Amino acid sequence: MCITGKWKIGILMIVMVLACETANAQHWRRHCHYNYRPDRVVTVVVRPEVTSHVSNRFNQKERFAMAVAYLETHDFLTIKQYANMTQLSKASAEAELDAFAMDKKKSIQLVIRGKKKVYIKKG
């Protein structure tokens, strides 16, 4: 009977040590990633209050006409090619081409080839 009591106390001690080590390890990780150095100067960068919008020289109808004209002579149009043609950002070019493809009246269709989105002429 005495041996069982010693075993229980030993197991309890091991569990407590492991629990404490885990708690200390988590506590250490939570506070060590700040890398605080008092000799470093911290500079706060703030966004400018006035942002200037650079207007594109083509309107949406002209850009759509450019895309259709490109598709007359080529098999497909990529987002990067359209962005270069229209001088839009890739995100804007993708959004605009997606809008063209979603419109049933427009003659551009979205096709996925592998991991790439390409746009082809309907029909």
Q: Name which residue leads in pLDDT, 114 or 31.
A: 114
CATH 3.40.1390.10 fits 60-121, yes or no: no
Mean pLDDT of 115-119: 92
| Contact of 100 with 119, CB cutoff 8 Å | yes
The terminus-to-terminus CA distance of the chain in angstroms comes to: 88
Q: Is the pLDDT confidence value at 37 over 80?
A: no
SS3 at position 65: helix
**Distance, CA of 70 to CA of 108 (rounded, Å):** 11
| Contact of 71 with 77, CB cutoff 8 Å | yes
What predicted TM-score, i.e. pTM, was given to this entire model? 0.55
Residue 40's pLDDT is what? Answer: 60
Q: Name which residue leads in pLDDT, 85 or 32.
A: 85
Closest by CA to 110, choosing from 100, 67, 65, is: 100
Give the pLDDT confidence of 47-97 residue by residue, as tens digits. 555 554 555 678 889 999 999 999 999 999 999 999 999 988 899 999 999
Q: Name which residue leads in pLDDT, 35 or 85.
A: 85
Structure tokens at 117: 């989105």
Q: Where are the domains of the chain?
A: 1-33, 60-121
Confidence of residue 18 (pLDDT cuts 50, 70, 90): confident
Mean of per-residue pLDDT scores for the chain: 79
